[in-house]
Structure 1
Amino acid sequence: MKAGETINGYTILEDFKVVGAGLSKWTFAARGGREFFIKEFLSPTYPDDDAPGSEKTKAKKRARCAAFEAHHRGLQKVLAPLSAYGGNLIVTLDFFRWGAKYYKVTEKVEAEGLSGGDVAAFDFRTQLVLMKSVAHSLKILHDLRIVHGDLKPSNILIKRTELGYTSKLIDFDSSYVAGSPPPAEEIVGTINYYSPELLGYIQEAGVTAGELGVASDLFALGLIFTEFLTGAPPPFDAATYHEPAVAIRSGEMLRIPRAGIAPELADLVDAMLSAEPARRPTIAQVHSALMAIRPPEHDEKTSPTTTAPPTALRGKGVRTGRRASGTGPTPPSRLVGKLLRKFNDRTRS
């Protein structure tokens, strides 16, 4: 499909661009006076009667397509009532097959092209708003026992608002019901943000499907929050293990650097990075703890009003590399510590 062509009523505004490792392509399209984000899946493809291959091969491909359709339509049906147009949970508005290819349509977000390092340069008040909005969006999923399955900074779009910034949670293609993930060989995502149990499941290292629950998202979110607050992942022996989940499964313990981070907030993130899923707080506990924090009156970090103008690239374009100045927030409310103590008491009982 090229710019100017129409597909299922959507007029393509730009040529499609390849996403990530090349599993899909995306662009923007217009319909009914409104612009949308549209994604083309490169796999699976539906074989028609004239497609090459034996009938047995085509039957297998059609069965895979049927499962793919059921997964996406099921998620669309469940999530549609939970987010209005303009909300912070960017759900599927339309899903269809056009010829051999499948397409997904969502709201277009005018997002900033910001990395974790960019967020780390913001004042703490802005960082806190972004963390709260991400946690709230994820809580909507977890209340339904839905695992996002592919949490990473590029799936958290940062949008400028009249009052500052907010975050938009996107891309539920890898989502599944807690305890019922897809087969290990069908798992896709970014290994940098895998939880240790997800990695163990993929590697068939003694982790069963039933052990993959919403806590897997909490580990990924702990990594993201560390980047938001410090500009980098938590330190570990990257030369040996390469990825955080590999380090955890090899016996390392991940901790957020304490310099400039209030102890109560550092304790919260550390709990999210626990090797054992049962020892991680729930997203409701994380959200409650963040809501209890009161930012300082004055913050010497970079004001978010000095960032570059927004783009329409949904946060998937070139990232800048600003790093934190090293000045941290004053300690948050004692209520955060109380929430953590209650959580730790529960896990020890």
Structure 2
Amino acid sequence: MRTRLLDALRQLGNGSGNCRFPAELFREKATYYQISHWVDIKSTSVKDISRLSDSEKLFILRTYSATLSRVHRVNIIHGDIKPDNVLVDKSESDKYVAKLIDFDDSYFAHEPPVPYLLKSTEYYKSPELAAYVVTDPKKNPKDYKELRKRLTCAVDVFASGLMFHEFWTGSMPKYNGLGTDKAFYKAVLSREPYEYDKRIPDWLMALIDDMLQREPEKRPSMNEVFEAIKAQSYTKQNEWQSKGGGSPVAEPPKVDFSKLRRLMISVPDDLDSLEPETVVKKINMICGYIKQNLSEMDQNQVDVLTVRLANEIKSLKKKPVRTPSGSMSISNSLPNGVTSAEIISDNLVKVVMSDGRKTFKTKDQAYRMGIVKIK
């Protein structure tokens, strides 16, 4: 099965573009190995995607839909569509694009593996997939055969509809049980009311509602989804499952990060050469926390961290390091945060930081930072 899948996927390319599937599959004794093209797993979070402009979000949905529609053309179901398997980052053309990864749970339409081998994420399961994974082939052979036939590429369409809502708003549609272990398909099957976010354009909301239809036959194909996004227009094909009644969801308050960003830029490059050591540790800890949680912070957290970081920076002092006399040479092991260094003159060193910034350091500074050694 894996070899057949890989042969089919190779019709789409070599796995190095926006569709990142394994390039090779081989067996060594009793163990199977697969080789994939390297991909930077750095990705823009769902919350950050939802804060992009409408045109940027549309381009992400467009590149994603184009990629998945190509996969569906060779009759393959990805099987685990969710934000974690769609890497969103800027391309060389400085546009946000989507890359589809992790084909470990893929299978051909109408040919899924036995239920206990399917590892699709619960929250993104379609109603027919959810029914299949709890079916016992031995106890219910008739239901098992019928449900196998119903597993088509529409499984991915359903999961994509939920993901589109997340990419546009930062969250799933509102339903009774959101935030618990109750998946969205249960609300669809029980015909419970649910609500779409009013920030979504009407045509896109209509498209998402059709992608989330109970019956897989009623959902649009991914190619139809792609064409609708390209045209920014869609004609509703089914009755609304949910019209998203109620008051519009309020826009999240905007957070001003400008002071905090300027402050982080002002943190000295040679931080490890400063003292007291306790202050240096606190600054590293604060900066690490900010980088990891920036997208989730509210204005109060930002303001508190800005004051804390400013106070710690004011407490920094230079370590009393005596620079020996002699000629400089670049250290064999550069300090963290430094990519390369070049001696410009007897008292000046050009330094390239790991974030791409170029700066110049005096002999004293370069020695204290561990960039150069003195002969």
- Following superposition, the deviation at residue 274 of structure 1 comes to 1.2
Higher relative contact order (CA 8 A, sep 6+): 1
Q: Which residue of 2 aligns with 1:248?
A: 188
- Provide the TM-score with structure 2 as the length reference: 0.57
Measured against aligned partners, the alpha-carbon deviations of 1:185-240 in whole angstroms (never above 9, x if no partner) come to 22112111111110011122956100111111110000100000010011111167
1:114 to 44, 49, 64: 44
Greater shift, 220-229 or 110-119, is seen at: 110-119
Distance 2:100 2:195 in 1: 25
Contact residue 127 and residue 228 of structure 1 kept, 8 A: yes
What CA RMSD, in Å, does the superposition of the two structures yield over aligned residues? 2.8
Greater radius of gyration (CA): 2
Aligned residues: 234
Contact residue 203 and residue 232 of structure 2 kept, 8 A: no
Matches within 5 A, 1:9-88: 71-84=1-14, 86-88=16-18
Secondary structure of the structure 2 residue equivalent to 1:79: helix
Q: Does the C-alpha gap of structure 1 residues 320 and 197 become closer, same or farther in structure 2, counting only changes over 3 Å?
A: farther
Matches within 5 A, 1:1-349: 71-84=1-14, 86-98=16-28, 100-161=30-91, 162-204=93-135, 206=143, 208-238=147-177, 242-258=182-198, 260-293=199-232, 321-322=295-296
Distance 2:55 2:215 in 1: 31
- Following superposition, the deviation at residue 255 of structure 1 comes to 4.7
Residue 183 of structure 2 aligns with an amino acid whose one-letter code is E
Distance 2:191 2:56 in 1: 34
Secondary structure of the structure 2 residue equivalent to 1:208: helix
Contact residue 111 and residue 159 of structure 1 kept, 8 A: no
Distance 1:211 1:188 in 2: 18
Q: Which runs of 5+ in 1 are unaligned?
A: 1-70, 295-300, 307-317, 324-349
Contact residue 215 and residue 282 of structure 1 kept, 8 A: yes
Contact residue 148 and residue 174 of structure 1 kept, 8 A: yes
- Following superposition, the deviation at residue 321 of structure 1 comes to 4.3
Residue 170 of structure 1 aligns with an amino acid whose one-letter code is I
Greater shift, 81-90 or 187-196, is seen at: 81-90
Contact residue 130 and residue 166 of structure 1 kept, 8 A: yes
Q: Which runs of 5+ in 2 are unaligned?
A: 234-253, 256-260, 262-291, 298-375
Residue 270 of structure 1 aligns with an amino acid whose one-letter code is D
- Following superposition, the deviation at residue 241 of structure 1 comes to 6.5
- Provide the TM-score with structure 1 as the length reference: 0.61
Secondary structure of the structure 2 residue equivalent to 1:114: coil
